[in-house]
Amino acid sequence: MTRLAHDGRLLQTFARLADTLVDDYDVVELLQMLVDTCRDVLEMTAAGIHLADPRGELDVVASTSEASSLVELMQLNADEGPCGDSFRTGRRVSAPDLENSPASWARFTASALRQGYRAIDSLPLRLRDTSIGTLSLLRSSPGDAPADDIVAAQAFADVATIGILHERAIRESSILSEQLQIALNSRIVIEQAKGVVSQTRGVPIDQAFTLMREYARAHQLRLSLVAAQLVERRIHL
């Protein structure tokens, strides 16, 4: 690939990653595009992405091959390889020659060497103090990856992280807005029900509210449901 084509593919990738900040997108498709770009443009032998579940355990969500051997290797990487170390520290973990990797990576290293991989870099998907996963780059030849390629891969990971966290924030914000709207709507119905009880029982508004709460507790019902039924004249206090 010529340098011009290489740079063009990098720019296209950044543009697509940037779209995640403003557009609807499929997270898995986004991450698949990222690992494919690392393989094809950065000329890595294989690449994979892990994301952390709510318990902080890493699972493979994208890899350049769905072959069981690579997926199993990626999971070993999460459990006892550089990927897990990168996630825990929030830093790049590099092994330019897996023949000399740490003893704690023994099972991962043995599997990687059997499959023909000789070097790996694991990069954190991290924003400030929030780590959500890792991007791992495998190579069939020992030696350090070109510095520019690592910079580009980390930039991919950073933009993807921002996109994922942005999507989560929007989703959580949407849920919060729905909850707030439900609460506001319920309050309107409760005010209407207070008026109904006050009128039918001939009691002050505050006492009407107390009666409603007592009824809800006695019947193990939500106050908003009792209020709705009072307004609809389905129950009477």
Spatial contact of 160 and 17, defined as CB atoms under 8 Å apart: yes
Least confident of 15-29, 90-104, 115-129, 222-236: 15-29
If asked whether residues 204 and 121 sit together in one domain, one would say: no
Least confident of 27-36, 53-62, 224-233: 27-36
If asked whether residues 108 and 78 sit together in one domain, one would say: yes
Kindly state whether residue 157 falls inside one of the protein's structural domains. yes
Smallest CA-to-CA distance from 136 within 205, 81, 187, 89 is with 81
If asked whether residues 27 and 79 sit together in one domain, one would say: yes
Task: Tell me the pLDDT of the chain averaged across its residues.
Answer: 85
Tell me: pLDDT of 20 over 70: no
Kindly state whether residue 205 falls inside one of the protein's structural domains. yes
If asked whether residues 56 and 141 sit together in one domain, one would say: yes
pLDDT in tens, 85-129: 999 999 999 999 999 999 999 999 999 999 999 999 999 999 888
**Rounded CA separation 218/202 (Å):** 22
If asked whether residues 11 and 30 sit together in one domain, one would say: yes
- Residue pointed to by tokens 């506001």: 184
Maximum C-alpha span of the chain = 87
Spatial contact of 73 and 111, defined as CB atoms under 8 Å apart: yes
**Rounded CA separation 113/109 (Å):** 6
Domain boundary among 153, 173, 193: 173
Mean pLDDT of 218-223: 88
70: number of Cβ within 10 Å: 20
77: number of Cβ within 10 Å: 27
Kindly state whether residue 38 falls inside one of the protein's structural domains. yes
96 vs 213, higher pLDDT: 96
Least confident of 5-14, 36-45, 141-150, 195-204: 5-14
If asked whether residues 198 and 93 sit together in one domain, one would say: no
Q: In angstroms, what CA-CA distances link 47 with 19, 118, 178, 227?
A: 22, 13, 39, 57
Helices (H), 81-146: 82-89, 106-114
**Rounded CA separation 125/47 (Å):** 14
If asked whether residues 123 and 74 sit together in one domain, one would say: yes
If asked whether residues 142 and 182 sit together in one domain, one would say: no
If asked whether residues 49 and 75 sit together in one domain, one would say: yes
Kindly state whether residue 56 falls inside one of the protein's structural domains. yes
Percent of all residues in the chain with a pLDDT value above 70, rounded to a whole number:
88
Domain extent for 26? 3-173
Question: How far is Cα of residue 108 from the mean position of the Cα atoms in its chain?
Answer: 25
Helices (H), 20-52: 27-40
CATH number for the domain spanning 110: value is 3.30.450.40
Mean pLDDT of 69-78: 87
If asked whether residues 120 and 181 sit together in one domain, one would say: no
CATH number for the domain spanning 209: value is 1.10.10.10
Output the six-digit token pair for 6. Answer: 């290489």
Kindly state whether residue 43 falls inside one of the protein's structural domains. yes
Spatial contact of 21 and 127, defined as CB atoms under 8 Å apart: no
**Rounded CA separation 81/74 (Å):** 9
Kindly state whether residue 237 falls inside one of the protein's structural domains. no
If asked whether residues 169 and 194 sit together in one domain, one would say: no
Kindly state whether residue 221 falls inside one of the protein's structural domains. yes
If asked whether residues 115 and 37 sit together in one domain, one would say: yes
Smallest CA-to-CA distance from 41 within 64, 25, 24 is with 64
Domain boundary among 173, 195, 220: 173
Torsion of CA 105, 106, 110, 111, to 10 degrees: -50
Kindly state whether residue 132 falls inside one of the protein's structural domains. yes
Spatial contact of 194 and 216, defined as CB atoms under 8 Å apart: no
**Rounded CA separation 71/62 (Å):** 9
Number of domains, the chain: 2
Domain boundary among 149, 173, 197: 173
DSSP 235: S
Tell me: pLDDT of 21 over 70: no
